[in-house]
């Protein structure tokens, strides 16, 4: 019997019981669809986070206090007070550091902000004018923090769109309005353009104040929580880290780098960490979804075993008329593969549809991997062969006389 005739016969047999065939296919559809949807969601989330990190600034290198061994205990990054404005000034003026073009000293803390009957808890960032260039901050209305604001310790603030919405309502104009942070009253002089994000990376939920105001008026500190550095190019990121690292070690009189009282990270370090984390969760979720593929494969094997039992007399008759074991095996394998192939195609369509809907609902990029779709399709065919092999072999091993006697 030619292959084309076997395929035609297999399709005919599968359509005899459409309900059973549909149920057998359903497990594969759900498995393939869920795997593709979860892989797509993981990739979209990873792309979104990477875009948000890159939106923090181009060629960004960050120095944070902390990560120093103290009595065998490693301190938390950012939890130390070892960086000062003098450090940032020294880095900016050093002739030894050639890979850096901008230095932004910063103080960051969360605080409760009020105005009238409205309040919000948000990130307060003490900055100098160079912050806007280092972190790609654009002003939508008003102006950013100036050098004069820093020198005069002016009580002024530049707010993000989310802060405006939380304190004044949508589409409000807050320029000239006042807000209170602790016991201090500040006047809003500018609103930044929206950069998007959520949670830790929500760059619209920030209030910028002069660095001197943050240190002396709001928080009463004389240290920095970070120093942001802009490398001259992406190729000089490693050089920038090394140059600044050795410079600060010498400045802080630390001979052993393992005892450094600061930590230097680059954008790529953060992206790599986030990518590894999201990749692990995506793989975990996809593995869980793949279990449904196994269940679907077992379902197909059960259906094929029932089919073999129902067609025992037919198999005996065909073998009595000279059909070879290979022909019988091929016949049932084709039926199994057809089931999984149809389920695989339907599952790919379902997975793409779910991915598209999720991207709209969650406002994430619509990310699809051709490799994941091809892999899912190949797996579905493999399941057809794997779980169809046993029923097919069982059918081909039936003795003609015993099969013909079967009731």
pLDDT digits (tens, 9 = 90+) for 202-228: 788 999 999 999 999 999 999 999 999
Q: What is the predicted pLDDT for the residue at 249?
A: 92
Please report the DSSP string for 278-290 in residue order: HHHHHHHHHHHHH
Q: Categorize the per-residue pLDDT at 154 as very low, low, confident or very high, splitting at 50, 70 and 90.
A: very high
Asked whether the predicted pLDDT for residue 139 surpasses 80, the reply is yes
Residues 6 or more apart whose Cβ sits within 8 Å of residue 41: 282, 355, 358, 362, 364
Q: Pick the more confident residue, 164 or 22.
A: 164
- By the 10 Å C-beta count (0-12 exposed, 13-18 middle, 19+ buried), 6 is classed as middle
Q: What is the mean pLDDT of the chain?
A: 80
329: Cβ contacts below 8 Å, ≥ 6 apart: 392, 393, 395, 396
Identify the weakest region by mean pLDDT among 151-160, 200-209, 245-254. 200-209
Is pLDDT at 287 greater than 70 in this prediction?
A: yes
Is the pLDDT assigned to residue 97 strictly greater than 80? yes
C-alpha span between 251 and 223 (Å, rounded): 16
Kindly state the average pLDDT of the residues 118-127: 93
pTM: 0.63
Confidence category of residue 89, pLDDT binned at 50, 70, 90: very high
Tell me what percent of the residues of the chain surpass a pLDDT of 90. Answer: 30
């Amino acid at each position: 019997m030619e292959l084309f005739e076997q395929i035609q016969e297999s399709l005919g047999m599968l359509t005899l019981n459409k309900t059973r065939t549909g149920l057998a296919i359903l497990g594969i559809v759900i498995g393939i669809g869920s795997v593709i949807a979860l892989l797509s969601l993981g990739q979209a989330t990873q792309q979104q986070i990477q875009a948000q990190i890159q939106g923090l600034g181009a060629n960004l290198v960050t120095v944070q206090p902390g990560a120093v061994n103290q009595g065998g205990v490693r301190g938390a990054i950012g939890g130390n007070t070892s960086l000062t404005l003098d450090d940032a000034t020294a880095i900016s003026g050093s002739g030894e550091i050639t890979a850096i073009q901008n230095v932004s000293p910063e103080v960051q803390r969360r605080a409760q902000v009020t105005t009238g009957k409205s309040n919000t808890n948000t990130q307060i960032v003490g900055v100098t004018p160079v912050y806007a260039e280092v972190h790609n901050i654009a002003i939508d209305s008003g102006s950013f923090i100036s050098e004069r604001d820093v020198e005069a310790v002016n009580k002024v603030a530049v707010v993000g769109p989310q802060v405006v919405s939380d304190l004044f309502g949508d589409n409000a104009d807050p320029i000239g309005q006042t807000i209170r942070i602790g016991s201090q009253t500040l006047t809003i002089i500018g609103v930044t353009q929206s950069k998007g994000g959520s949670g830790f990376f929500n760059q619209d939920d920030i209030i910028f104040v002069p660095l001197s105001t943050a240190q002396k008026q709001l928080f009463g500190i004389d240290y920095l929580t970070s120093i942001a550095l802009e490398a001259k190019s992406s190729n000089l990121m490693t050089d920038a880290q090394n140059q600044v690292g050795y410079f600060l070690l010498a400045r802080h009189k630390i001979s052993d780098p393992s005892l450094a009282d600061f930590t230097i990270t680059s954008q790529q370090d953060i992206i790599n960490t986030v990518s590894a984390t999201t990749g692990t969760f995506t793989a975990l979720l996809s593995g869980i979804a793949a279990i449904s593929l196994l269940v679907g494969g077992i379902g197909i094997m059960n259906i094929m075993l029932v089919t073999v039992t129902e067609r025992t007399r037919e198999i005996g008759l065909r073998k009595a008329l000279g059909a070879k074991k290979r022909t019988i095996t091929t016949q049932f394998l084709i039926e199994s593969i057809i089931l999984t192939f149809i389920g695989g195609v339907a599952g790919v369509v379902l997975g793409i549809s779910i991915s598209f809907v999720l991207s709209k609902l969650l406002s994430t990029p619509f990310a699809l991997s051709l490799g994941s779709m091809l892999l899912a399709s190949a797996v579905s065919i493999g399941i057809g062969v794997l779980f169809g092999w046993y029923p097919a072999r069982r059918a081909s091993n039936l003795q003609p006389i015993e099969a013909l006697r079967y009731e």
